[in-house]
Amino acid sequence: MRGRDEETGEYRDISRSENRRQALEVLALGEQLVGLTPAQLAKLPIPEDLMPHIEYTKRITSHGARKRQLAFLAKQMRRESDEALQAIRDVLDASSEVSRREVAQMHRVEQWRERLLSQGDAALAELIAQFPDADRQQLRTLVRNALAEKARNKPPRAFRELFQVLRELLASGAADGLADAADLDTPPEDTDEAEAEFDFDDLSDEDLLDD
């Protein structure tokens, strides 16, 4: 069997085990694609001939049938060029990184809001030290109103507005300083891939490899 050398671009003979490893990588990519929403799929550079296979696989609910169809989908994907598959991976990786950053930013904003509500002026002083241009009076008023809303069981308008103001403050160019000033124990982000729906190790070479 032959495969393409990533460094030279030339084709070379590869072992059956290497071929199987590459097939499993494509299979994992296929499983990831099937798990995306139509809107997410529309943002990816997926070859037109693959979309019907992806859409068909998404409609299958039987566990065994879905697993076999994923293997078939992977075979179709392996008929595409390496460049086409890598382009899909690149967009997925970039999207995942953006999502991680956005989630981390939202966590920082939420942490600051909770500190302001629970610690009052002490937390506000730390925030102002990091952002001297922040509107101290606006923040103090929002904190006071948010606490009053909670005490009176009213709609959380000030609570939400406080979040928006802090989010804008976070986006003003000093995200690192804001994260440090929060002085909270934030667990490290989970960088592992999402757990796969299936274990494909039991698939035979006939199921995985090209006919």
- Give the tens place of pLDDT for each residue, 27-72: 999 999 999 999 989 999 999 999 999 999 999 988 889 989 999 9
Residues 6+ apart with CB under 8 A from 93: none
3-state secondary structure of 125: helix
Residues 6+ apart with CB under 8 A from 73: 30, 34, 50, 53, 54, 57
For every residue of 59-100, DSSP letters joined together read H---HHHHHHHHHHHHHHHHTS-HHHHHHHHHHHHHHHHHHH
3-state secondary structure of 2: strand
This prediction has a pTM of: 0.50
Token pair belonging to 206:
């006939």
Q: How far is CA 128 from the centre of its chain?
A: 32
Q: What is the pLDDT of residues 102-160, one digit of tens each?
A: 888 889 999 999 999 999 999 999 999 988 889 999 999 999 999 999 999 999 999 99
Q: What is the pLDDT of residues 11-35, one digit of tens each?
A: 555 677 777 888 889 999 999 999 9
Q: Helices 121-130 and 82-119 meet at what angle, rounded to 10?
A: 130
Per domain, the residue ranges of the chain are: 2-80, 100-182
Residues 6+ apart with CB under 8 A from 61: none
Distance CA 30, CA 22 (A): 12
- Topology of domain 100-182, CATH: Diphtheria Toxin Repressor; domain 2 (1.10.60)
Kindly report the CATH class assigned to 2-80: mainly alpha
- Report residue 1's pLDDT band, with 50, 70 and 90 as the boundaries: very low
